[in-house]
Amino acid sequence: MRWGRFATFTLAAALAVMASDARAMSAALPEDTRCTVVGGDKLPAEAGGADALCAAVRQAIRAQAPHARYTAQLNIISRSRLTAAVTVDGRPLPEQTLSVMDRNLNPISIERFAQSLATKVARAGTP
């Protein structure tokens, strides 16, 4: 039981750091870069909320494509499914979907999804 509490605390601390890092980096982001979440009230509490979701996406894209001009609209369909409509340099990418079959969305699944979006944004910006 003790390790479970430690893991929960560590995860919460990591999400808080990601959110604060995203706020600190926001001044350096390209002007037309933004992330919005629709249906954030459907996110399970363990997912960290809409701000944590956008922070994960921003951080991943910033790491792989630091100068990308993008918008991302993340639509929460249910506690286990979300979609993303991403535009890079004014060009829309194909809609991206994350579905978790055996549990609710959580920080690990969201981080993987954010990394996947970042890869697609980086490739879209490559001539």
pLDDT tens-digit readout, 29-78:
445 568 999 999 999 999 999 999 999 999 999 999 999 999 999 999 99
Give the residue from 113, 103, 108, 101 showing the smallest Cα distance to 72: 113
27 against 83, higher pLDDT: 83
Question: What pTM does this model have?
Answer: 0.73
11 compared with 43, residue with greater pLDDT: 43
67 Cβ neighbours under 8 A, 6+ residues apart: 30, 125
